[in-house]
Structures are given as C-alpha cells and as structure tokens.
Structure 1
C-alpha cells in the first residue's frame, strides 16, 4: 500500500505579520464566542437549539441562508476552483443566485407552514409529516449524516488556512484549534448563535467582497489584461465553459441552481422565521448578496492565475492558497483583516448549522425512525450537544487525511444533499401524487450513487488504494464529464416520479398536510 500524503497540512501560505490583522482576527473570535454564550443563555429547549424558537426576521433569514451557502466553500473553494479551471466554476457561483429564487418560491412558505401544522424541528421531522413513513425519516437522517461529514470537512479545510494566515500557527494546529473553537461555540450556542453569527459575517462578506473585487482587478491589470494573459496560456480558461468544458459546466449549473432545493442546512431555516409574511423579500436579498459576494471568487481566482501565467508571481503550491495569499499580499491590512475574519466567522457559523442538523439526525431522527425516541427533552438536548463532538472529530479526520481540494469536497457534499433530498423535499411538498415508496426509492438511488462514485473513490485514493478507486470509477455509467451529483439528482428524480405514479393508488396525503400542498 502506498503511504498517503497530506497536502492540506504540508502547504505553506503567507502569515499576516501585521498587528491589525491579528487584532481584528482575535476580536472576531471573541465576538463568535460571545454570541455562543449569548445563544446558550437563550437556549432552554431543543426547539431553541435547533430552530431558534421561530424568532428571526426577513433580513436575518436572507443573509443567514446566503452566508451559509457561501461560507468556506465559496470564499476559499471558489477562488481555488476558478484559479484551477478558469470560467467553468462560473456555472456554480454565477448561477447559484437563481437557486435562491427557486428555493424561496417552491419551499419557503411550505416549510414554514409545515412547522405550524406539525411539531417539526428537523428536515426528517418534516419528511415524516409529509409521507408518514419512518423509512423516509431514517433515510433522510442518514443522508444528512453522510453529507454533513464531507461538507463540514470543506469548511474545516478552509478553516485551517485562515487560522494560519491570521495567527501564524502551523496548518495542522490551525485545524485542531479551529475545530476545538468551533465545537465549543456550537455545543453551547446552538442555532440561535449560528444564525446571528451568520448575519454578522454575511454583512462582512459582502463588504469585503466588493473591496477585494476592486483590488483584484487592479492587481491583474484590468479585465482585458487578465483575459489576454489567461488566453495566451490556455484559451479554454476564458472560454464560456472554462477548462472542464460544456458538459461539466452544465452539470454544475443543474446541481447548484436546482440542487439548492435539497440543501438541508439552508431549507430548514425556513422553519425559523417568526412570521410567514416576512418571506416575501428574502429571495432577492439572498440572491443579490450571494451574487455580490461571489465577485471575490471570480476576480481573485482569475487575477492570481493570470499573474502566474504572465510570470509576475510564482505558481501556488496549492490552489487552496489563492484567496489567503491574495488578501495578505495584495490588499491593505484592514481589508485583509476584515475578509479573513469574516471568513473565519462564516466557517464557524456554517459549520454550526451542519453540526446541529447532523447531531439531531443521530439523536432525534434515527431513534424516532426506529420507534425508540428519547422521551426526556432535556436529555435529548444534552445528547445532541454531546454528539457534536463525534461528528467534529470525524470531519477533522476527513480533512487531515484527504487530498481533495476544498472546492471539490464542497461539490461532493452539495451533490449528496441534492441527489438524495431534492425530489423528496422539493417535489414532495409541491405534488400531491408523491408517495412514500417514491421517496424511499429516490433516497436510496441518490445516496447509493454518491457513495459509490464519489465517497468510496475519494476514500480509497486517500488510503493509498488508487487502483481500487480507479476500478470503482470505471463502472460509472455516465461520461466522466457529468458530475456524479448532477447525474444522481436527475436519476433519483426520475425514479421518484415513476415509483410515485406506480404506487399512488395505495397512498394518500395526510389530511392536515393536504392544504399545505394547495398553497
């Protein structure tokens, strides 16, 4: 067996030898922990811990959903993917705003009404209410646990770079210390702390992205110079579909626009809004905020790659260094401090959302699907908080041993959610003909395809079994340029519709849920 390497721990990036960046970073961590303590003081029940007791308004909801989506995946993984593949990731970051509009239109009102009709706190709760099937509840919970482990790893992988950039500690210690702070913050603060941290860092991300956009264009010599340098090196980098081509771009567009309706960590936030009438303006606020913040990914990735190709700067050891290196070396201290600290908060709050839904899946949803719920609500809350530890350790292990790029880890996690949950949730809450057997079949197909063709090859490659990984990947039934998550989402949707049509005579929508589907 070939010994695996650990590039995420070996790469070097500049350290902010600047008191301004250090002070801003330290203050941000203190702010995060303070919000965590404040959240703890307001958390008396599991409902408070998981859905904030339905207490948030339009702006907080919109900024929270946008920032949870962007997070470490967008601010570290985005520049990384664009630096590596040119304009192909435009079909992720340039079109995901459309997904916010669709999500709000198809799910916002229905998810919030569901929280009034039934006592739901998690997505599996909601899907049990819709289908009245413990199999659907259990499969939804398993999907969340598997997807969150990989998706949380995306944010921890970004976190280690940010910790090193701000505080000058080795990347490995950045991972360990950052994970510990995250665990402490999440365990005490719950979703209340996460939502308000999301709001603060979302505002910071939008402001920082605008500033970085201006500096990045200037650094690259303007749009024309950037394009010419990239085209001279490889015309595909600046072609409409980038270096990975049209099929990959289309796959990413499908996955990140429509697939947004299956992202458990965002759609469950609709449970939290205090008044359903406040949903109206949330979609444009979230979409515009996401679009502005994505300017950072595009200009940073393209400018850095253009300057490398023109010989003005050295090639990066790792594409994951793109954003930290740019803001530290090519922006003023105050901008670097705000961007890196905002990213630190983004990672913490987004990871908090992941940890909460995964811990609830372990301690609330799976036991209920097996007919063995934890009856004492306080005990259930404490066990949920304790479960955060195991999930954090698992995700930290994925980061330490994985060779995958931050952005690729994000694509895998997003694809797993989209393929397994999009038909079950989005179609299920909009189509009376959806049935429990259809939901079960779709969940199995989506989950299985992603595990077989994304999770297993990545795991085998990481432990040095590359030949096994290649053998598994060779059985993939679609062209290699078709993203697994997109193919799995389309296939699971077809299966969902076909099986639902075949079983409609044996299934009826619960009486209290039927009016919701008619909204």
Structure 2
C-alpha cells in the first residue's frame, strides 16, 4: 500500500466515523431538547473534552502555530491563556447556567436572555448577533476545512470545501448537539494525541530541543522573549482580551446547559484546561522548530504564516504522520463548526421567530432545516463573496463576545443590569463591529499599529452595558435578578413564555 492510498484510507475512516456518530445520534432524536442540548444528559468528562474541542479550532491549531513561528513565545501566550479562561468560565458560570437551564427549560443563549430580562427586543437582537456571528465563524471553518480536505484527498479546493461542509452538515443535521458533542469528544482526543506526538517528533528535527533553542538564541533571540517581537503591553492587553473573549463564546457557554447535574462540574474545568493546554504543544513544537529551520536556511518562509503548518509537515514529516496531523487539524475545524451549526439553527428558528411570538410546530424538523441553511450560507459566502468572507470572519469572534459578556456574564452577577442596557450593548457592539470592519477594509480609516477592532468592540460593549444599565435601573429587572439568584434548593421549575415576556 503506497503512501497516498494510506492517507486516503485514514481520511475516509475518520470521515466515516463522524457520519456514523451522526447516524447513531439520529436514532435518539425525539425532540428539540435532544437536538439543542443533547437531552441535558452529559457527564463531566464528555462535556469537558467537548468544551475545549469546540473552542480549539483552525485558528488555534493553524493560526497560532504560524504566529508562534513569526512572533515566538509572545504569540503562544494567547494560547496559554486558554486554560485560565476555561477555569474562570467553569467557576463563574457553570453552576448558575445549569441551575437556570433546569428551572426555566433554557436551551440556548437567547433563552438565558429571556429568563434574565424578559424583553423580546433583547432576545431578537441577541438572536441576530448569534446568526451573524455563526455565519462568519462557519465561513472561516468551511474555508479551513476545504483547504485541509484538498490536501488530504488531492482534489481542488472548491470540491474539497463542499465535501467538508456536507459531511459536518450531515452528522450535525442528523444528530444535532448530541452528535456534535460526541464527535467533539473523538475529535478532542485525536487533537490531544496528535499534538503531543508532533511535539515530540519536532524535538528531533533540529538535533534535539536543546539544539533548536540554541539555534534560535543565537540567530533570532527575540523569538524566545515574550516581548521580543511585540511589546509587553501589547501582549498583556491581547491576552486579557482573549481570556474575556473566550468566556463570551456561545459554544462554551452552551455546554453548561447540557449537563446532567451540577455535581459534574467538579473536575470538568481541570480536564478541559489540561486538554486545551496539551493541544498548544502542537503550536509550540512546530512553530519554534519551523523558525529554527528558516533562520538556518533549511526551509523557505511562506508569505502567509498560516502556510507554516503544511510547509513544515510536508517537508519534514513522513506522509502518514502528515496525514494523521492534517486529519487532527480537520477534527479541530469540524468540532467548532458542528457546535456553531446547532447554535445558529436555534437562534434562527425558535429564538428569532419566538421573539416575534411565533411558535413553530415540529420544532425538531425546523431546527434541521435551519442547520442546512446555515451550512449553505457559509458555503455560498466562502465560494462566491470574498469581501463578505473578510467581513464576516472579522466580526464572528468579537460579535459573540461583545454581545454575550455584558448581558449574560455580567448580567448574571450584577443586580442592576437592565434589559435596556443589554439591548443597547448588543446593538452597539454589532453595528460597531460591522462598521469598523467595513471602513478598514475599504481603506476609509487606517487603524493605529497594534489596534484590533474586535478587542475594542468587546470593551465598548461592556462599558455600554454597565453605563446604560446604571442610568436605567428599575425594580422589575432587579426583581427578575433576585428570582434567578435564589438558591437552587428553593427554586421550583418555571417556564418563561411569550405571554410572560409581553406582560413584562
């Protein structure tokens, strides 16, 4: 069996396994609860691995590796901040979100908005923000999946993009969040194994880890300094924004709505943090090894840092190792995509339409139809609208964080948070995201060096939420806060309905 045949076999086995999990999950789909929150049946291990897997995407595995090769250890600080963000999210939100999900039958982020503020306008705009962010995020994942699939199968990019999107769409449509979680489990374990394996393999590329570090220290010492390429203030500011942004990512928050019991939270943070930390070994080993080979003249530096991974693997690794590594990268991409499809489908159907008082019959069927629409929109954008790809890709990450951090994260702890503050923060952050991306893309404004519009929008969204809430304090919002802040033992199950919202 030649190398190409073996690579093809490895890829087909992986893709077949993902489809098999989707078909298995489909046999357990009886209601929208199973589709949206996996029947709230997850144990801590599955939930923990699925949590880090859905966060660790093509950006984390491919993008951070490229920036590590370019910026050195300073870039890796962003990835190292990930485990801290997991721990903070677990302890800040885990118990609260699980209790709210159990009492109010909350299956989505807009459901949490309904419970906290009982305001249809806030629910509507949160749903819009989630749909926009989902399409943007999905577009980036679909493009990355197409690139990796093309390398693995030896086909053109457009065909590979469609194949990757169809496969992740099929198993998600068939099994919803249950399929997404269990495929995330397999994909997360695959990412960990690949990252650790590639890390140790790279140790021998330049004569060992010590020799690699000595080469870098003599030829490019700035790579081994945290503030060697970028300033310390820049590194700290961006690391903090990465932490805050990750806390506000819906695919992570959504996992807490699926837990079987709050007792499952005890070890989840540790497992998720260790799993995410293990995958950063891929960026550390390959990124620094690639930089050492480049400074010695043994490897040509790609014009695009994102090409570092493929260039290094194809030049220095056995084809089978390359195939396994690329398959694990495909797993990282698909694990994020499947969660976004389900979150976007829920926002498009039950949440967006529900904010207008429209209740769908056969909700499970409509969630599946919406999932197909999300995948179709992402493929269309990826194939035909290059400028929109840039626009949506730029606003995806920060659209989520800016819309969620204030109304959800702060709102669950701050009694004075109001529906007006939440509504203003969501609309402001969404419009500011789109506006800044357009003016910079069209060349109407040149941002200062080191300025990232997404980070600024997150900060503005937080400030707007706090300021407007402070100015619009009211007893009704505080009463709602007191109701959800009661100890879980004293709470009785409550269903928030459109009529309840209308009366509020």
TM-score by length of 1: 0.87
1:497 aligns with 2:466: yes
Which residue, out of 314, 322, 333, partners 1:336?
322
Name which of 48, 52, 58 aligns with 2:38.
Answer: 52
CA contact (8 A) 1:220 1:304 kept: no
Shift of 1:178: 1.1
1:448 counterpart residue number: 431
For 1:214 and 1:149, the matched residues in 2 are separated by 37
Task: State the partner residue of 2:373.
Answer: 390
Q: Confirm or deny: 8 A CA contact 1:114 1:516 kept in the other structure.
A: no
What aligned pairs does 1:87-486 form with structure 2 within 5 A after superposition?
87-223=73-209, 225-227=211-213, 230=216, 236-241=222-227, 243-316=229-302, 318-374=304-360, 376=361, 378=362, 380-400=363-383, 412-454=395-437, 456-457=438-439, 461=441, 469-471=442-444, 473-474=445-446, 479-486=448-455
Tell me what 2:498 maps to.
none
Moved more, 363-372 or 506-515: 506-515
Give the 3 Å change call, closer, same or farther, for CA 403–317 of structure 1 in structure 2. Answer: farther
Contact 1:71 1:350 in 2 (8 A): yes
Other structure's SS at 1:143 match: helix
Matches within 5 A, 1:23-38: 23-38=9-24
Which stretch has the larger CA shift, 59-68 or 383-392?
383-392
CA–CA separation in structure 2 for the residues paired with 1:399 and 1:40: 28
Question: Against the structure 1 CA distance between its residues 64 and 293, is the aligned structure 2 distance closer, same or farther, given a 3 Å change threshold?
Answer: same
State the partner residue of 1:22: 8
Q: Deviations over 1:489-508 (max 9, x none)?
A: 22221221122222223432
State the distance in 2 between where 1:241 and 1:417 align.
29
Give the 4+ runs in structure 1 shifted more than 6 A: 406-411
Partner Cα distance (1:140, 1:277) in 2:
30
Alignment partner for residue 508 of structure 1, among 471, 474, 478? 478
> Distance in 1 between the 2:233 and 2:406 partners?
22
Q: Unaligned stretches of 5+ in structure 2?
A: 491-504
CA distance in 1, matches of 2:258, 2:59: 24
Residues paired across the two proteins, number: 486
CA distance in 2, matches of 1:331, 1:269: 36
Deviations 1:362-419 (A, max 9, x none): 1111111122232x1x2x2222212223322332344346779x99987753222112
| CA deviation after TM superposition for structure 1 residue 245, in Å | 3.3
Q: 1:381 to 1:411 in 2, by over 3 A?
A: same
Query: Deviation of residue 514 (structure 1)?
Result: 3.0
Q: Equivalent residue of 1:53, what SS?
A: helix
Which piece of structure 1 moves more, 170-179 or 360-369? 170-179
The corresponding residue for 1:464 is none
CA drift at 1:59: 0.5
- Counterpart CA distance in 1 for 2:401 and 2:167 is 29
TM-score, with structure 2 as normaliser: 0.89
Distance 1:225 1:445, change over 3 A: farther
Distance in 2 separating the partners of 1:153 and 1:398:
7
3-state SS in 1 of match to 2:56: helix
Change (3 A) 1:483 1:87: farther
Distance between the aligned counterparts of 1:383 and 1:188, measured in 2? Answer: 12
Work out whether residues 265 and 353 of structure 1, in 8 Å CA contact, stay in contact via their aligned partners in 2.
yes
1:488 lines up with 2:457 in the alignment: yes
Residue 63 of structure 1 contacts residue 285 of structure 1 at CA under 8 Å; is this kept in 2?
yes
The alpha carbon displacement at 1:247 in A equals 4.2
The verdict on how the C-alpha distance between 1:371 and 1:409 changes in structure 2, with shifts beyond 3 A counting, is closer
- Give the 3-state SS of the residue equivalent to 1:182 in structure 2: helix
Q: Deviations over 1:312-342 (max 9, x none)?
A: 0223254323223333442345533333223
Hey, what's the Cα distance between the residues in 1 that align with 2:377 and 2:187?
26
Q: Answer whether contact 1:160 1:178 (CA < 8 A) is retained.
A: yes
Deviations 1:70-122 (A, max 9, x none): 12222222213323443342232011110001000111111111111102111
The alpha carbon displacement at 1:234 in A equals 5.6
Query: Residues 432 and 417 of structure 1: is their aligned pair in 2 closer, same or farther, counting only changes over 3 Å?
Result: same
Aligned equivalents of 1:55, 1:45: Cα separation in 2: 14
Alpha-carbon distance in 1 for matches of 2:324, 2:275: 17
The separation in 2 between residues aligned to 1:410 and 1:517, in whole angstroms, is 39
SS in 2 for 1:274: coil
SS in 1 for 2:57: helix
- Cα displacement string for residues 415-441 of structure 1 (whole angstroms, at most 9, x for unaligned residues): 221122111111111222211111112
Q: After superposition, give the CA deviation of every residue in 1:183-234 in whole Å (9 maximum; x if it has no partner).
A: 2222112111110010011111111111111122322444455456556666
